[in-house]
Structure 1
Amino acid sequence: MRELYQTHSIDAPNVLDDELDNAIKWQIKDLLDHGVDEVLVSHYRPSHPDNRAKQVTAVVVEKQLVESLINITRESGLLMESIEIEELSIGNALIKHLSEDKIIGFVGEDDKGLVFNFYNGGELCFSRHKKGRFMPKAGEGEFVLDTDQEAQEESFLLETQRTLDYVISQIFRRPLDAILLQQESEKSEALAETIKQLTETDVILISPKVETKQENSQAPNLAEVGLALGMEA
């Protein structure tokens, strides 16, 4: 789903709130893949610890895509209430692990690559997505050479350490209270222990359980789980 929209961190234009999205569109026009008349722009305010209220994250999506989704929804007899992005919907699936007085990191992987989300006071502060394959999946060990798995895990730890170093030194300026690691395979426990030793931070394995009555159906990813939970709230 990430390939369907763009995000850009910018300083918010000095305009009224009801004019903000349109002003953002023109501010980032040179960064767009389409013309300004062909896109829709929204935004959210990251929960920065130093209350950098001027910074926003712009979300850009092609107008034609949204119109198509609305038409499909209407033809199905449904009502579309909102469109969510993955960065925000993941937080709905993690809500019981987040706290108003804690800084929490999340490390996981979707079908495109690594996902790093960091929460301040229960709200999203910073998100990073690194394309590629990094985390070993359940049941794939017999098909992957040990050397390939070792290289994969080394790349995962390198990207994780690099991201943690950045958010701790440049954003929070203090250690995280905990790290949530998405459980992908039997190797996840070993990865969690390694991260704990490297960062001296508690690492909690999470694996949202989803029941389905459909045989051979693919389990939803964490963002999809969060989207469903957000609709129930």
Structure 2
Amino acid sequence: MFFLKKTRKSDGWLSFALLADGIAAASVRCAPSARPAVAISHFALGGNGADALDKVGRELHASQYRSVVLLAGGEYQIVTVDAPNVPADELRTAVRWRLKDMLDFPVDDATVDVLDIPVDTSAAVRASHSLFALAARNSIIKPRQERFTAAKIGLDAIDIPEMAQRNISAMIEPEGRGVAMLSFGDDGALLTVTFMGELYLSRRIDVPLADVLDADFDRKHASFDKITLEVQRSLDHFDRQFHFISVASLVLAPSGASGLEEYLSSNLYTPVSTMDLADVFDLGQAPQLAGAAEQQRFFLALGAALRHDESEPGQQINLFNPLFRKQTQLWTTPVLGQALAAVLVGALLTAWYANQNVATLQREAELGRQMLAQREVRLAKVKAEFAPRGKSAEVALDLAEAETRLQALRDAAAVLERGELGNTIGFAGYFKALARQQLAGVWLTGVSIGAGGTDLAVQGRALDPALVPAYLGRLTKEQVMRGKAFGSLKIGPPAAAGEPGATAARFVEFNLESTMAEVAK
């Protein structure tokens, strides 16, 4: 709905540093293979309350950015603790329990976050793993969030100076070596050591900016002595604890302090140089940052503006406490009135639309009833015209007769297949076979075929009894004679030869009788 619409924020950060004399706000634009360009470097002289923030926010269109504010050095505590062996989602709870004896205020009244300290991944023996534990009083976090809420600036993160300084130090690290950086502010000096873009050391030195800018020679050099001693001790301790990191140099953040670089160079074994922000930032849109004093004022604000998203790899902290986020009252009286009006209009439109649909549905239902009545009338007419006919007795009789004839034909075919009627192919084959087999000295006197061709009897005469077996052998080679066995063979003189006074016959008579036999396979 239009009254719930939110302004889309850009990808950049707008950082705020609440200084003693006013508000420093900064934003940078980052592009690949180019120095970060300073887009905003605004300083509002005066107070840093909600009214002043509101004015700055409106001038800079803060609603178009994600906003981050820096805590001052005395508004939080940072301590080093051993990393507890717990899952990541339980890490803050475990660290909070360890901090209860390390803070100068009750841990239950603190907002806590942790910062991982990377270990030497190339070490043969795994070193102990440590964390930076950060804690800030809720009595500081809650009013800070409420101040931004009152100024109508949507605060997304609360950061610390160590991380802002880390962001700038990471841009000047030489390949494979670490960098120590020393900056000054109203709350003292801050020494950090970074390696591969990660924070490894943080030390506060009780020497504010005013002490290194003091015009009195003796007081200023007393401050230089204190700084030298604290820096040397810190670097020696760092070298013992993180021996795998070689610190290339000590870089002094812009401060305008004369003589500090020379003094440290003559008393430290580490090379010392002073930074110019123009070497790491594109100041084309911020010519007012040419001087050391202005660079010192915006140093931490610019570092905080380099903040990366928490979803990206690398160290990141955020002391913003969601418990103190002011709940937006969406249902205020004007908004509630608009919502009720919208609901009323929607209800009226719904009722009108429903009435229209009901009328339409009623017309369609009536039309459907009329069509149904017409179809029922047509169905009745069709049933009357095409009534089902009864069975015909004549057709049933013809069908029964046809089935009887069909069964008779089937029975006859079965008889023929079984050979119950004997030979069904005639007797011509037998006679052709007998005619083809002519043997000199053998002649037939009679042929008898019976039992449908199953039984065969052949009578004949032969001049020599030895011719009969030869004839029989030739006869059985005929196709029609195969499968037949001559079960009876009689050879003898003619019947008349046995009578008294009869002369001896010159031939013999034979009688062959056959039966069916199985042919061996």
Question: Does 1:107 find its partner at 2:182?
Answer: yes
Match of 1:136 in 2: 212
Stretch moving more, 57-66 or 174-183: 174-183
Distance 2:179 2:220 in 1: 28
Contact 1:108–1:115 (CA<8 Å) still a contact in 2?
A: yes
Q: Aligned letter for 2:107?
A: V
1:29 matched to which residue of 2? 100
| Match runs of 1:150-161 below 5 Å | 150-161=221-232
Q: CA deviation at 1:175?
A: 4.2
Tell me the TM-score normalised to structure 2 length: 0.39
Residues 211/129 of structure 1: CA separation in 2 closer, same or farther (3 Å cut): farther
1:225 lines up with 2:302 in the alignment:
yes
1, 6, 12: which one pairs with 2:83? 12
- Post-superposition, which runs of at least 4 consecutive aligned residues in structure 1 deviate over 6 A? none
Map of 2:479 onto structure 1: none
Partner deviation per Cα, 1:127-182 (whole Å, 9 max, x = no partner): 11121358622xx43xx1x3333333222222222222221233236642222123
| 2:263 is aligned with 1:187 | no
- Match of residue 90 from structure 1: 165
1:28 deviates by: 1.4
Shift of 1:20: 0.9
Aligned to 2:194: 119
User: For the structure 1 residues 218 and 160, does the alpha-carbon distance in structure 2 shift closer, same or farther, using more than 3 Å as the test?
Assistant: closer
Specify the structure having the higher radius of gyration (Cα): 2
SS in 2 for 1:31: coil
Q: CA deviation at 1:217?
A: 8.6
Task: Classify 1:15/1:100 alpha carbon distance in 2 versus 1 (closer, same or farther; 3 Å).
Answer: farther
Mapped to 2, the partners of 1:183 and 1:72 lie a distance apart of 30
What residue identity is the alignment partner of 2:297? P
Quick one: which amino acid aligns to residue 230 of structure 1?
A: R
Return closer, same or farther for 1:127/1:109 CA change in 2, 3 Å cut-off: same
Does the 8 Å contact 2:179/2:249 carry over to 1?
yes
- Matching residue of 1:65: 140
Instruction: Write the distance in 2 (CA, Å) between the matches of 1:108 and 1:220.
Output: 11
Paired residues of 2:195 and 2:245 also in contact (CA < 8 A): no
Q: CA deviation at 1:103?
A: 1.3
Gaps of 5+ in 2: 1-71, 279-285, 310-521
Shift in CA distance, 191/207, structure 1 to aligned 2, threshold 3 Å: farther
Q: CA RMSD in A?
A: 3.1
SS for the counterpart of 1:90 is helix
Q: Deviations over 1:42-67 (max 9, x none)?
A: 11012344675731111001123222
* CA–CA distance in structure 1, aligned partners of residues 199 and 119 of structure 2: 8
Decide which of 206, 209, 218 is 2:275's aligned counterpart: 206
1:8-31 Cα shifts (integer Å, max 9, x gaps) = 211122211111111111111122
Contact 1:118 1:127 in 2 (8 A): yes
For residues 234 and 137 of structure 2, what CA distance do their matches in structure 1 show? 30
Q: 2:247 aligns with which of 154, 169, 176?
A: 176
**SS of alignment partner, residue 59 of structure 1:** strand
In 2, Cα distance between equivalents of 1:217 and 1:178: 24
CA-to-partner distance for each residue in 1:164-211, whole Å, 9 max, x for gaps? 22212332366422221234323134235325xx31x43221143675
Contact 1:181 1:192 in 2 (8 A): no
Note if contact 1:99-1:122 (Cα within 8 Å) is conserved in structure 2: no
Q: What secondary structure sits across from 1:13 in the alignment?
A: coil
- Offset of residue 111 of structure 1: 2.0
Of 216, 224, 235, which residue of structure 2 is paired with 1:164? 235
**In 1, are the aligned partners of 2:188 and 2:205 still within 8 Å (CA)?**
yes
Q: Does the Cα contact within 8 Å between 1:107 and 1:115 map onto a contact in 2? A: yes
**Secondary structure, aligned partner of 2:228:** helix
Q: Describe the shift of the 1:153–1:34 C-alpha distance in structure 2 as closer, same or farther (beyond 3 A).
A: closer
Q: What percentage of aligned pairs have identical amino acids? A: 22
Give the TM-score taking structure 1 as reference length. 0.80
**How many Å separate the matches in 1 of 2:136 and 2:276?**
30
Aligned length: 223
23-32 or 156-165: which moved more? 156-165
Deviates more, 1:63-72 or 1:204-213: 204-213
